Amino acid sequence: MSASGGAAPPDRLHDRPDERLYGRRSGHRLRARQRRLLEFTLPRLRLTPAHATAPEAAFARHPAALWLEIGFGAGEHARGFLAGHPDAALIACEVFRNGLCSLLGRLVAEGEEATGPLPGMLRLWDEDARRLLPLLPERCLDGVVLLFPDPWPKARHVRRRFVHPDNLGPLARAMMPGGEWRIASDDPVQQAWVAAVLRGDPRFSDSTPLAARPPDWPPTRYEAKALAAGRSPRYWSVRRTCAPVLD
């Protein structure tokens, strides 16, 4: 991503609309504070592809557990997770600049973007999470969090849904057997889709979704919007089984 707010660099995945999982990367022109966050703070937290091959070394301390959050939005869950799990490390992925700035802006005070202390157990991946998965070592993730992924309800956009058979192999490869995959969705089409995709895959346990968020899952902005609009989120806690990765 360009720190100056210019167009994103050419991106092979995004050249094929069917493979793009998200819409706009930037909602409006960047303000000065956002520019400083992207220019000075983001590089201090960024997980590089080189780090990704040995991610545990990227953190301030050796983590007791390594988790991955895909599409952190404004970062409420990421901050809550770190506060609740001081010995765990989190790689948090987001492609939307406003989301990145929302999280970064809550981590450092204004004027301290280049120098203010930052969480030692958080690293950010500011590209498509699907690019990260094949770089990670096998069986390195104790948990994965996917909260309110973009629903892509139209049939012609099915391949853009993150919970898709194409993505399950790379995810299964990077997860420990017994590791937990947390998924939430408020969209009825996506809810039925998640249930159907998981039911057919031996690499993940089939779980009945819950109607209420488990108390140890930090809430997010998107969930609050869904509840305020009268929608009914569902929450899955899925386990990686011992079944071989296959692909």
Ligand X SMILES: C[S@@+](CC[C@H](N)C(=O)[O-])C[C@H]1O[C@@H](n2cnc3c(N)ncnc32)[C@H](O)[C@@H]1O
Catalytic residue IDs: 150
Cβ proximity to ligand X, 62 vs 156, nearer residue: 156
* One residue of 33, 139, 221, 239 binding ligand X per CB under 6 A: 221
Minimal distance in Å, beta carbon 118 to ligand X?
A: 20
- How far is residue 18's CA from residue 111's CA, in Å, rounded to a whole number? 41
Residue whose CB is nearest to ligand X in the complex, by number: 71
* One residue of 34, 185, 191, 220 binding ligand X per CB under 6 A: 220
Minimal distance in Å, beta carbon 24 to ligand X?
A: 9
Given a contact cutoff of 8 angstroms between Cβ atoms, the answer to whether 116 and 36 are in contact is no
Can you list the pairs that 44-50 forms with residues at least 24 positions away whose Cβ atoms lie under 8 Å?
44/114, 44/118, 45/104, 45/107, 45/118, 45/122, 45/123, 45/124, 46/123, 46/124, 46/125, 46/126, 47/91, 47/123, 47/124, 47/125, 47/132, 49/135
Given a contact cutoff of 8 angstroms between Cβ atoms, the answer to whether 148 and 223 are in contact is yes
- How far is residue 64's CA from residue 239's CA, in Å, rounded to a whole number? 19
Q: Is 174 in the site for ligand X (CB under 6 A)?
A: no
Q: Is 22 in the site for ligand X (CB under 6 A)?
A: yes
Q: Is 217 in the site for ligand X (CB under 6 A)?
A: no
| Contact string 68-87 vs ligand X (x = CB under 6 A) | --xxxx--------------
Of 46-54, 79-87, 136-144, 218-226, which segment contacts ligand X by CB under 6 A?
A: 218-226
Tokens of 231: 């929608």
- How far is residue 1's CA from residue 244's CA, in Å, rounded to a whole number? 35
Of 46-54, 114-122, 141-149, 227-235, which segment contacts ligand X by CB under 6 A?
A: 141-149
* One residue of 19, 39, 112, 150 binding ligand X per CB under 6 A: 150
- How far is residue 124's CA from residue 37's CA, in Å, rounded to a whole number? 13
Cβ proximity to ligand X, 197 vs 241, nearer residue: 197
Q: Is 95 in the site for ligand X (CB under 6 A)?
A: yes
> Which H/E stretch holds residue 69?
strand 65-70
* One residue of 1, 21, 82, 171 binding ligand X per CB under 6 A: 21
What three-state secondary structure class fits 144?
strand
Size of the site for ligand X (CB under 6 A): 22
Please give the radius of gyration of the chain, using alpha carbons only, rounded to the nearest integer.
17
Q: Is 172 in the site for ligand X (CB under 6 A)?
A: no
The residues of the shown chain that bind ligand X, judged by CB under 6 A, are 21-22, 70-73, 93-96, 99, 128-130, 147-150, 220-223
